[in-house]
Amino acid sequence: MTAPLLRVKGLRRHYASGGGLFGRARYVTRAVDDVSFAVMPGETLGLVGESGSGKSTTGRLVMGLEEPDAGRVVFDGTDLTSLSASRRKPFRQRMQIVFQDPYAALNPRMRVGDFVEEPLLVHGVEAGPDRVAALFRTVGLDPAFMQRYPHEFSGGQRQRIGIARAIALRPQFLVADEPITALDVSIQAQIVNLFQDLQESMGLALLFIAHDLSMVRYLCSRVAVMLRGRIVEMGPTEAVFGDARHPYTKALLSAVPIPDPAQERGRRRLAFDAGGYVFPPDAALRDTGDGHYVLMGEAA
């Protein structure tokens, strides 16, 4: 069998806050807590969960934008967490990220052509206007826009520029950190289709971070569900969507709107609050012993 391109093992990142006695932290936020998963070459893994569940922090830890408190990130057989910044630089060519906010991700003082060309120059790869123009065409932009500044573009166009920069070095692995959240609904499908096209043409492996379950179902072959810094369920997309096992996954799926008004009015939603899961009053529940509940007769 093909070995995973990326393997994350026991990743952990906690944040301390609130100074207490003798400078000790009063609060610890467990943003990422013992997270493990693998991404195969050419695969798209969706990482879903509510805001604050640790999805984006996981993506930043994978990319080395933050250092983990514990755990390993192994890319193509190399443990990146054991490398210094200088030794990690060659892997930057093979791993890239697309950020959530297309308005904040671009340098407002740089022409967008220079912005896309910058990683080529940093890594000593052949650059030039022709190379940048080809990247613009790849993401569906007119090369005539290369001399413009970010404020002259819409949100969808800015996201395409960020994607052009991310694929400039022809990476093998791409983290897409909620890349459609800040975009109009009419533009979201275009960006998702662009990711799909790039994956097929370049053989990209993709970690797609999102909370739009319909887009994840469309794009991803596998899905991992995060809750409070942990992955609580993971598996093939259709298996998870069709037969969710964890109560939080059930709650997420129950919140997805149904296009049929009759079905939408007749269904029951599973709610989630700070105190735990709230199921319909006639549901028989079983305590699994670890703070979670599952419907009676189902596995934990």
Segment 161-214, tens digit of pLDDT? 999 999 999 999 999 999 988 788 888 889 999 999 999 999 999 999 998 888
Q: Which domain holds residue 279?
A: 246-300
Q: Are residues 133 and 185 both part of a single domain?
A: yes
Q: Which of 151, 59, 172, 60 is nearest to 104 (CA)?
A: 151
Q: Are residues 95 and 141 both part of a single domain?
A: yes
Q: Are residues 87 and 220 both part of a single domain?
A: yes
Q: Are residues 40 and 87 both part of a single domain?
A: yes
Q: With respect to residue 1, please indicate whether it lies within any of the assigned structural domains.
A: no
Q: Are residues 174 and 127 both part of a single domain?
A: yes
Domain CATH code at residue 63: 3.40.50.300
Q: Are residues 147 and 272 both part of a single domain?
A: no
Q: Are residues 158 and 281 both part of a single domain?
A: no
Query: pTM to 2 decimals?
Result: 0.84
**Predicted confidence (pLDDT) per residue in 280-294, tens digit:** 434 444 555 544 444
Could you say which of 245, 263, 285 is where a domain stops?
245
Contact 172, 203 (CB under 8 A): yes
Instruction: Tokens for 8, please give them.
Output: 């994350």
The number of residues making up the chain comes to 300
Distance of alpha carbon 76 from alpha carbon 236, whole angstroms: 22
Q: With respect to residue 59, please indicate whether it lies within any of the assigned structural domains.
A: yes
Distance of alpha carbon 44 from alpha carbon 259, whole angstroms: 26
**Predicted confidence (pLDDT) per residue in 33-77, tens digit:** 889 999 999 999 999 988 888 999 999 999 999 999 999 999 999
Position 72, amino acid: R
**Predicted confidence (pLDDT) per residue in 104-129, tens digit:** 889 999 999 999 999 999 998 888 99
Q: Are residues 204 and 298 both part of a single domain?
A: no
Q: Are residues 163 and 282 both part of a single domain?
A: no
189-209: b (≥16 Cβ within 10 Å) or e: eebbebbeebbeeeebbbbbb
User: Who's near 164: CB < 8 A, 6+ residues apart?
Assistant: 116, 135, 136, 138, 139, 141
Look at residue 244 and tell me whether its pLDDT is greater than 90. no
What pLDDT score was predicted for residue 294? 47
Distance of alpha carbon 145 from alpha carbon 186, whole angstroms: 22
Q: Are residues 57 and 179 both part of a single domain?
A: yes
- Domain count along the chain: 2
